[in-house]
Structure 1
């Protein structure tokens, strides 16, 4: 990245992760040397983004010709939009391949996946002792091709193998915390996570905390502040120390700083419901199959919230990532999240 200005195409700029990463890029010591382009479906948000000095294009990640064109103009693509949108990622890859062929540029692609790629079918009934270490490339390569997010991850790594870009995949776990930054204040960015609210909303609906099975399965967790910092630490490491920053098959970076049982989340939700006068008992009860269908769309989709996903983020730490927030902070974040959802629902 020796050019005086670094062209960056960032996807998902109005989302929870992408907006948090964008806010950090805008506050970066080298921000004046960045030419950042983003896509927004809403013209109003695009206009607001322009006021932050960002080139905002009105469009969608499903406009593959547009995505390909924007990627072809970028030395760095930071993809935070959708871990499972394979056609959009293929459009990014076509754009970067075209750039390599015409400019001779070896671009950087930082793609966002998720630790859903490690899940099993525990249904909350047992804890797995299998822990995936991101420094162990053989262990990651053994992940089944059929795993969640895996088709996109493999397409990204294969592009690195073909030699027209360098790929880096950040794999966040349960991300928590209400995002706070200037993009949130401007009404541009969604400040809320997805996974924990998927337990909170049904619990509010049934007025009793809920859990899949016994909730004894484990998942890792990471705060939104810490995981967005991982993108910046990785970006800076690619710039300053490219030879020691793993890419391709050595380029998977988990985002975790501790782990929890699903029961722990549900119990914290239950305690919040009792404190708010919504429930009389903080102890979670198991979802019925009918409830899984009602709240998640299907039994299988609901059972995802009872899977095991265990990992260690040693590769990020090896390049200087130092996450500050712990599982204790995650549990403390749940009551404010419950209150925010109640407010959204009009205090029901």
Structure 2
């Protein structure tokens, strides 16, 4: 069975590639390498003894997409490809709508043309906006506070409309929270271009001395210590959730009819940790001090966000296995072994 992984050279995609290969799938990766490095494929081969087929291309290029489906018999798609920085999306909204939304519509159109109607979509907890309460369930109201979140919500709505129009489509929408950590080998991990946008790689680069200090955006939120609280999930747990969501698309009833339709799943631990709690855990794991400065709130951010993962446990048989200690230990192993990421 061949799986197309868009954005499969990226952080979450590469960890998912490994689990797919280990499970015996044929993996085709489409990635434009805008926020990734082809060295990741050498690392994947070292870990698994196998290497995905890699096609350098962009979901905005419909001809390139069509060629992938022509050259390979794709049975299902896991769709990661997209821009993902909240702050950048506020500054450059058109770029986010063009890349994320228009690119996804291109993908769905080409899939339909090739009669490939099974997809796992990488959405985000940002579609919940500023939730009225926590933990967050899948049936909570949807409203994004920034263009990145809006782009994810738009794509979700497109997929729901596609499923209504054509019941042959089988769709898993995964709203995940804050992926962190790295593969236990220390060979692959998060390797952002330039200054990291996400907390954990930023903290790691401060700990190793690449960055001077952490700016903590907001110290006056109504939380345990005034800093933002998030549900951090180990990237390997997250990758495992994608395989569970993929398997759910093939479930049939007694008559052999597909039964999944379009469903949404939270992928989170159900536990929230503040920025300063993450800093403390990282200092303990690394033995390094992480200096920080409390700064003003960042546009589009919210105070508290963590999942209710019960639906994913009940329907997919998936639960996060790793706690915050393992997350920071694995992230530090990756960062300390690869201080410049994939670049020698």
User: What TM-score, normalized by structure 2, do the two folds share?
Assistant: 0.70
1:151 Cα deviation after fit: 1.6
1:241 Cα deviation after fit: 5.1
| 1:178 match: secondary structure | coil
CA displacement, residues 272-307 of structure 1 (integer Å, 9 cap, x when unaligned): 78x43x66xx6x441258xxxxxxxxx42xx63x64
Aligned equivalents of 1:44 and 1:198: distance in 2? 22
Rg larger in structure? 1
CA displacement, residues 211-246 of structure 1 (integer Å, 9 cap, x when unaligned): 222244321121111111111122223334577975
Q: Choose from 87, 90, 109 the match for 2:119.
A: 109
Q: Could you say which residue in structure 2 is the equivalent of 1:262?
A: 275
Query: How many residues are aligned here?
Result: 295
Aligned equivalents of 1:97 and 1:263: distance in 2? 46
CA contact (8 A) 1:115 1:173 kept: yes
Aligned equivalents of 1:87 and 1:10: distance in 2? 18
Aligned equivalents of 1:39 and 1:201: distance in 2? 29
CA displacement, residues 314-337 of structure 1 (integer Å, 9 cap, x when unaligned): 222112113211234335556546
Aligned equivalents of 1:321 and 1:288: distance in 2? 37
Aligned equivalents of 1:266 and 1:197: distance in 2? 11
CA contact (8 A) 1:145 1:151 kept: no
The answer to whether the aligner puts 1:26 opposite 2:24 as a matched pair is no
The answer to whether the aligner puts 1:229 opposite 2:240 as a matched pair is yes
1:110 Cα deviation after fit: 0.5
Aligned equivalents of 1:45 and 1:68: distance in 2? 26
In structure 2, the CA distance between the partners of 1:53 and 1:267, relative to structure 1 (3 Å rule), is closer
1:17 Cα deviation after fit: 1.0
Q: Could you say which residue in structure 2 is the equivalent of 1:211?
A: 216
Q: Could you say which residue in structure 2 is the equivalent of 1:295?
A: none
CA contact (8 A) 1:119 1:307 kept: no
Aligned equivalents of 1:223 and 1:272: distance in 2? 15
CA displacement, residues 36-84 of structure 1 (integer Å, 9 cap, x when unaligned): 3222447966996898353332323332321244357533011122266
Q: Could you say which residue in structure 1 is the equivalent of 2:101?
A: 86
Q: Could you say which residue in structure 2 is the equivalent of 1:323?
A: 320
Aligned equivalents of 2:247 and 2:21: distance in 1? 14
In structure 2, the CA distance between the partners of 1:252 and 1:192, relative to structure 1 (3 Å rule), is farther
The answer to whether the aligner puts 1:37 opposite 2:28 as a matched pair is yes
Q: Could you say which residue in structure 1 is the equivalent of 2:65?
A: 67
Aligned equivalents of 1:309 and 1:71: distance in 2? 38
Counting only pairs closer than 5 Å after superposition, residues 193-204 of structure 1 correspond to structure 2 as: 194-201=198-205
Aligned equivalents of 1:129 and 1:81: distance in 2? 30
In structure 2, the CA distance between the partners of 1:180 and 1:325, relative to structure 1 (3 Å rule), is closer
Flag structure 2 segments of 5+ consecutive residues without an equivalent. 85-95, 193-197, 220-225
Q: Could you say which residue in structure 1 is the equivalent of 2:12?
A: 17
In structure 2, the CA distance between the partners of 1:307 and 1:119, relative to structure 1 (3 Å rule), is farther
In structure 2, the CA distance between the partners of 1:44 and 1:168, relative to structure 1 (3 Å rule), is closer
When you count helix as a share of all residues, which structure comes out higher? Answer: 1
The answer to whether the aligner puts 1:154 opposite 2:185 as a matched pair is no
CA contact (8 A) 1:9 1:38 kept: yes
Aligned equivalents of 2:39 and 2:30: distance in 1? 10
Aligned equivalents of 1:227 and 1:217: distance in 2? 21
Q: Could you say which residue in structure 2 is the equivalent of 1:174?
A: 178
Aligned equivalents of 2:41 and 2:237: distance in 1? 28
CA contact (8 A) 1:40 1:46 kept: no
